[in-house]
Amino acid sequence: MPSPTSAAAVTRRSAILAGIRRILPFTVIAGPFGLIYGVTAAENDIDTFAAIIAAFAIMGGAAQIALVELIGDGSSWFVAVSTAIVINLRFALYSATLAGSFADFPRRWRFFLPWAMTDQAAMVGIQEFEHEADPFYRLWFFVGSAMFFATPWWIGSTLGVLIGGEIGPGWQLPFAVPVTFIALLVPSLTTRPKLIAGVVGAGVAVSLYGIPSGLNIILGAFAGIAAGTWASERAERTAEATS
């Protein structure tokens, strides 16, 4: 009969591998997107050490690119940092959704894992936690997925900062981020309220494309939440009326 220790080791390993498998399709953009950030930082004369440290500390690609571009354009630090914060406000939504699951984790992990949260890790975690209740499994699933995605981002960012303009100006992957978000979103649309939330949120975000500071993403997210909540409440009232 296996000991409790060996059983925990098996669970930990299976959870980590499951997290890696779930996030693997999305890691294809992590390295190139990190490279874009690194090159952008180098082209805007951001200090090499500061740019590399930022890649490890923030892990918010769109916000980091906007930040270094604004600094390069001569914007004030207040404007640059405020813009990055606005773009990253979506992480407050992820955090609110994951708070219940994270509450079961040991304290040290509750402080560490939010730092490792990316859009991709948050979404695969949310989807997995809907049908997996074991806190120990959840913890290591999130560790596996988050760290596996972060590693190529760090490598790409560091290479981009170091090689700088050798890649050539204007090298971008404009399609990578939207395609990734669509790939993350579609598997979660399992009910009518979720489908309505996704369609409304995407519609608002696309229709408002071009407004500054990534506000279209934030407004789309809130519109999707409002639409999904309305649809869910309506479905509940309908079910009560017919019961």
Paired tokens of 130: 């809907």
- Written as six digits, the tokens of 60 are 């918010």
pLDDT for position 212: 60
Q: What is the pLDDT along the chain (243 residues), one digit of tens a residue?
A: 344 567 788 788 999 999 999 999 888 888 888 888 888 888 888 888 988 998 898 888 778 887 887 788 787 888 778 777 877 877 888 888 898 889 989 999 998 998 889 888 998 998 899 888 899 999 999 999 999 999 999 999 999 999 875 655 555 554 455 555 555 455 555 567 767 777 787 778 778 766 665 566 667 777 877 887 887 788 778 777 776
**Domain spans in the chain, listed from the N-terminal domain onward:** 4-172, 189-243
Question: What's the confidence (pLDDT) of residue 2?
Answer: 44
For residue 157, with 0-12 CB atoms within 10 Å meaning exposed, 13-18 middle and 19 or more buried, which class applies?
Answer: buried
Token digits of residue 165: 């303009």
pLDDT digits (tens, 9 = 90+) for 64-103: 887 887 788 787 888 778 777 877 877 888 888 898 889 9
Phi and psi angles of residue 124, each rounded to the nearest 5 degrees, phi first? -70, -30
